[in-house]
Structure formats: structure tokens, C-alpha cells
Amino acid sequence: SDDTPIGKTDEDNQEIETWGKIPEFDFPVQDHVALGKKLDLIDLEKGAKTAGFRGYYLKNAAAKLHFAVLFYAWQKIIEAGFTPMVPPTILREFALIGSGHFPFGKEDVYQIANPSRLASGEKSEGPEYLAGTAEPSLLAYFANTTLEEKDLPIMVAGWTPCYRSEAGSYGKDTQGIYRIHEFSKVEQVVLCQADNKISDSWLEKMKDISTGILQDFELPYRVVKVCTGDMGAGKRKMYDIETWMPSRKSYGETHSDSNLSDWQARRLNIFYRNKKGEKILVHALNNTVLASPRILIALLENNQQEDGSVVIPKVLRSLVGLDKITP
């Protein structure tokens, strides 16, 4: 888009919005790894033994908090008018080519060594992969279809496990649960008319749903407009939402909000018929509503107390069944 910053790396991204007060602690700040150990919430040693590098177990209040944040996001996205879906996470190649994850991000996708068999007992046609997000699965639902303009926008949300090899992130964020091989995420996808004003307005609306949830959790965050070199293939305009993480002394990326114009629709043959009867490619957008356990880093670290306890945000207390996590 015209207002996308020109740049090469995330250092060229442009901060456009901040919210919340960054906490000041008058005691030594503990990171989520230390808090997780002391409060018996996260077991990285056993996780690594069971699952290998970047493996983890969430336990006790962390397990409750994990499902609480996801369910809270799920409720919010349904309230916003999105159709809830539990889409498949074992995908054929066309879905990942269609979304643009192939060929551009193929190294980060797990391929299944023994693909499923057909009813006849024969092997499935072609390779199968584990999805790193619900986005390709939600988009593939509409592949090779022509929608009616009166039915737009199509608004769908998926809650799925996500799998990423993180091959392209070797050596980055090796401690804790910031960068891991499996996590859960609520994702939103919008298909709308082929009009940049309309699709860009959806980009803003989707961002506001995510930032609204962070405000409900009372977590400080910032929004950055992503530059051309950091955006990835096919994207017209993109925001990252980054949440404050005290142990990093910086914001950490927790959400990604993208307008891909008609790029994915072209790859998947998703059209709509306008009032004149013409077939036009839709515009497609996607955004993280919430991903966990990464968001737990911000929740645990920002809400830590001098006595070693962690206060649960008010809106999550009824879902977690606790006001505070104590040693």
C-alpha cells in the first residue's frame, strides 16, 4: 500500500500506536522461566526430554490460564460476528500453496512421513503437512468457489493447534516458551470486495479486536506498521502487535495482521459475482486473535509481585478460578 514504509528488516518498521503503562518494579524482575519454575507452572526440562528442543509442559495454573486466554479470545471473536470453525490441521499441499506458505515458508512446515490412507487402503494423493496456523485451512474451505457480493464479507475464525519447525529461526529465542514448535491459536480470516478501502478498513477492524483483548488483559502493547522487506510474499499492508515483556526489556511480537489483497484468492480461485454479474477475485485478510502460550510470557512477567506471586487479570479470574498464583 502507499503508506507501507520502505525498508529491509524489522528495524525499519514504523510504530503507530502504543497503549498501557509499562510497569516499573522496585524488586528484581524474574523472567517467565524463573516464575514458571518457582510457581510450578512450566517444565522445560521434562518438555525437552519428551519432545526435544523447544519442548515444554504447562502445568497447574499455567494450563488453566492457557485455555482461559484462548477461550476469552474465542468468545470475543464470535461476539464480533465471526463464524467459528475447527478446521483441519493436516493439510494437502494445495492449501499451503494457495495461502502462500509454499514455496516461501516451506522450511518452517512439518511434512508428515507416513501420510494417511484412502478408504481403498491406497496412500493419499501427494504429501501432507502440519499447519502452522489456521489461515491456509480456513482459506482452502473457499477454494474454487464463486461467492455472491451480497454475502460478503465472509468472516471466519479457527481455533487450532499450530506446528512450526522454526528452521529459519535457528539460534533465536532459545530460552523459554517464546519460540516453540507447537502452540494454540485463534485466527481470523476475512474475504471481502476487491476494493482497497474496504479491505484496509477490515485490517483496522481486525487489529482493534486483538488490541481490545490486550486492553482487557491490561497488557501494555504497541502496533507497528510492517515495512516492505519484513512483510512476506503477497502482502499489501501489514501490522504487527507487540506486547511488553519485562524480561526482554522490550515488546515481543504476539499478533500479525495482514491484507493480502487478491493475491491468495488468485492462487485459490476464490471469486465473487458483483451486481453486474462479473466474476471478481475477493480480497483476503488474516489476523492473530490470540496465540498461547507466548501471551503467557507477558501475563506472568507484567503481573509478578514482590512476594513471588502473579496476579491474574480481572477478566480471566472466573475462567481460571483464581485471583492470584501463589508460591
Instruction: Provide the pLDDT for residue 146.
Output: 99
User: What digits encode the pLDDT tens for the residues 280-311?
Assistant: 999 999 999 999 999 999 999 999 999 999 99
Q: What top-level class would CATH report for the domain 10-113+124-319?
A: alpha beta
Instruction: Provide the pLDDT for residue 174.
Output: 79
Q: What is the mean pLDDT of the chain?
A: 95
Question: Quick one: cell of 22?
Answer: 509499562
CA distance 145 to 101: 21
Q: Is the pLDDT of residue 123 over 90?
A: no
Question: Is 204 known to be catalytic?
Answer: no
In terms of pTM, does the model score above 0.85? yes
One of 128, 135, 137, 164 is an active-site residue; which one? Answer: 164
One of 253, 266, 273, 309 is an active-site residue; which one? Answer: 253
One of 179, 248, 273, 317 is an active-site residue; which one? Answer: 179
Residue ranges of the domains in the chain?
Answer: 10-113+124-319
Instruction: Provide the pLDDT for residue 168.
Output: 66
Check if the beta carbon of residue 288 is closer than 8 Å to that of residue 279. Answer: no
One of 199, 210, 247, 256 is an active-site residue; which one? Answer: 256
Question: Is 294 known to be catalytic?
Answer: yes
Instruction: Provide the pLDDT for residue 170.
Output: 66
User: What digits encode the pLDDT tens for the residues 90-112?
Assistant: 999 999 999 999 998 899 999 99
CA distance 320 to 318: 6
Check if the beta carbon of residue 16 is closer than 8 Å to that of residue 225. Answer: yes
- The percent of residues in the chain predicted with pLDDT above 70, rounded, is 98
Question: Is 256 known to be catalytic?
Answer: yes
Measured in whole angstroms, how far is the alpha carbon of residue 269 from the centre of its chain? Answer: 25
Instruction: Provide the pLDDT for residue 25.
Output: 97
- The percent of residues in the chain predicted with pLDDT above 90, rounded, is 88
Q: How confident is the model at residue 232 (pLDDT cuts 50, 70, 90)?
A: confident
One of 236, 242, 294, 301 is an active-site residue; which one? Answer: 294
Closest C-alpha among 76, 71, 110 to residue 90: 110
Lowest mean pLDDT among 68-72, 167-171, 207-211, 277-281: 167-171
Instruction: Provide the pLDDT for residue 52.
Output: 94
Q: How confident is the model at residue 53 (pLDDT cuts 50, 70, 90)?
A: very high
Q: Which H or E run contains 91?
A: strand 90-92
Torsional class of 25: left (φ above 0), alpha (ψ -120 to 50), beta (otherwise) = beta
User: What digits encode the pLDDT tens for the residues 137-195?
Assistant: 999 999 999 999 999 999 999 999 999 998 766 666 878 999 999 999 999 999 999 99
Instruction: Provide the pLDDT for residue 117.
Output: 75
Question: Is 222 known to be catalytic?
Answer: no
